[in-house]
Structure 1
């Protein structure tokens, strides 16, 4: 019997490659956004990628096959893509495009929708740039910026703040996935946060018809900071300082050890006997201070910090954040002796410095902002206490959660944190998400 092959679909199937442009082609259509991937990836000269479906390398006939693992490497001033040890493409940069919208590209284990461009950053690192429709970008943002079990209105408020913020970066290519912009986790979605995005599709916060600067932080400590105070820019009427009765006032504490080196048991007439064998208790803080001293008249001197005598933060803004600070330390310099032949202990005073600089010098990573509420001191330590986490301008994420749990709608939450603004529908139609089905296998009769 002779076999007859009946083809139900065309034997040769051409993929309708999906590409994502920066701007919508028609008014009222959801735009796309391009995001530099920095936060989870870090700085790498070598990364691995794995497509869930076929991807095409733009400008070439090379395709990345579903389920295979490839590597992307820095090469001279460009980028190379490898399958195992064989280079399959090389160029200044690469853009890979999925064959169907729902395809994902895994980068070092984290999945992303949309196009992906790989560039050579400073001849050191591979920097992926992910381009995708804005609403799907937001579905990767909201679960990273808010807890999914928060009240739905808190999640909706976060969705509008994030959407409005992102829209100001649509054409700038300056947004990344870090907390300095807004955290984006790729295709790591949550059902509740995606619901918040879907139910507020296209909604934004505007002031006098223009997109508002909807900045936000984790907690303002009970007092909202103004845009003028924090950034030194023009004061925006909806980003002024005021008390926040809803923020749970997240508290923080920074402890500075006073004694850094104990000189009691040291031969002060012969510092060479012990100089290289002792170090400060807080080496990071001590090195910060010494670098500052070296830049201010102590260049080339071998210094050790003996003690921190005083730390002050003062001159608060209308938003209660300190603007100035003092730091007083005792130090020794190798081979500098006093009139008795002992190593000389001197005092270095830093008075009226920027508060942020003093915070950095004392390695104030546990100081979550400059809303300092108290400073106490005893013989062993200086204890600095404050409240809030982040810059404190605009929406407090924890405050929004409290407001929502008390029955306030997302519109009321946004009115409180951005007073005088309105909610507006920025676009009404979704960007086309094209799904392409592979051909059916031929039927054999």
Structure 2
């Protein structure tokens, strides 16, 4: 059953990460009247303000000819909620309230709070193309609203980890899709579903248990998708990235001037290694072994694989070590981050072959493939299907429920 407080005007809280990144300084200004929780702190409309994080976990606020030190956080609340009141953070507009706080003792993290329906107006055009048909946009809206409705009690962020949220960057058709489906969510046995979706399933959907373990959900089955445009992809990876015999060890700038052949992929490898026990500078030398097991799920997606990476690891004091990472017969989701999700686009891999020192992987789809295919929904909409038919195809056995009537 739905929580009693869950209505279309429910508030949602979003950490701003996607467009802000990790910054120790940012700028903001606002339109309309805003007040703070500090009765003696008054800020002015239209003034360009800057915030800087200090080592003492304080914020330095500058603007309007003033410099102030703020303890803990700065909260800005509009005198009334409407579209004339908005805050621009690093030139991107947001509605509602905003809190600026210090994260990890060095970054400023804005946290936006606003009504659920207006949050969705900033999500839908960032999850699919706002130029797509209205029925597809409505289907995306229901999936996004259902997802958000099950996360109102927590703080989410604005990245693909949850849903991409662009603030007060709205488009006519996507806004119309939100307004015309106000309060509608997807339910199964009178409870909001886990409304997963991805860009493209490659022609066959995936079950949630194959991706995230846990209980297999009946409304997320494995089945052929005749609407998904498949989206084939491939990438090449040189087995040898930096031949050791080409390095001039006596040259003062050899480290800086030595680069890998596939820098788009090796940059992901370096980031992964640095997060997993190898801090410092890294040069990828070679990938002497890379293969995928032939074992597959019912959805044809791969389950396991192996990869070996040899690299140079430069420590802080300048010592350089030869290191080797060996992942042997591991779950494939341990390998994909090493390549990068925008390159190794899905686990629906048709082939991985090595020829003349180069690995070539070919596959289909983009994303986990669970639930709705956004491109498939687009094709269904083009063919005249309603948003309710799109929802029923991708989440079979579910219902559409208005949370305002619960």
TM-score range, shorter chain: 0.7 to 0.9
Aligned to 1:178: 159
Aligned to 2:9: 30
Highest RCO, 1 vs 2 (Cα 8 Å, sep ≥ 6): 1
Question: Tell me, what secondary structure is at the counterpart of 1:164?
Answer: helix
Q: Within 2, Cα distance between the matches of 1:108 and 1:264?
A: 47
Q: 1:49–1:204: structure 2 CA closer, same or farther, 3 Å change rule?
A: same
1:78 to 43, 58, 61: 58
1:13-52 aligned at under 5 Å gives the runs 28=7, 30-52=9-31
Deviations 1:342-385 (A, max 9, x none): xxxxx996531222233334556411122111223321411101
Q: Does 1:357 align with 2:334?
A: yes
Q: Within 1, Cα distance between the matches of 2:182 and 2:147?
A: 15
Aligned to 1:440: none
1:185-334 aligned at under 5 Å gives the runs 185-262=166-243, 277=254, 280-282=260-262, 285=266, 288=269, 307-314=286-293, 315-327=295-307
TM-score by structure 2 length? 0.84
Aligned to 2:77: 97
Contact 2:122 2:170 in 1 (8 A): yes
User: More displaced, 138-147 or 28-37?
Assistant: 28-37
Q: Within 2, Cα distance between the matches of 1:117 and 1:329?
A: 43
Question: Tell me, what secondary structure is at the counterpart of 1:351?
Answer: strand
Q: Within 2, Cα distance between the matches of 1:305 and 1:67?
A: 49
User: More displaced, 25-34 or 91-100?
Assistant: 25-34
Q: Within 2, Cα distance between the matches of 1:117 and 1:290?
A: 30
Give the RMSD, CA atoms, in angstroms.
Answer: 3.5
Contact 2:198 2:368 in 1 (8 A): yes
CA offset at residue 274 of structure 1?
8.8
Q: 1:92–1:350: structure 2 CA closer, same or farther, 3 Å change rule?
A: closer
Alignment gaps of 5+ in structure 2? 314-323
Q: Within 2, Cα distance between the matches of 1:92 and 1:286?
A: 36
User: More displaced, 193-202 or 312-321?
Assistant: 312-321
Contact 1:62 1:88 in 2 (8 A): no
Q: Within 2, Cα distance between the matches of 1:348 and 1:326?
A: 11
Aligned to 1:441: none
Aligned to 1:146: 128
Greater gyration radius = 1
Aligned to 2:319: none
Aligned to 1:137: 119
Question: Tell me, what secondary structure is at the counterpart of 2:335?
Answer: helix
Deviations 1:303-322 (A, max 9, x none): 98765444222322222222
CA offset at residue 254 of structure 1?
1.6
Contact 1:225 1:240 in 2 (8 A): yes
Q: Within 2, Cα distance between the matches of 1:208 and 1:115?
A: 35
Q: Does 1:116 align with 2:98?
A: yes
2:44 to 61, 65, 83: 65
Contact 1:221 1:249 in 2 (8 A): yes
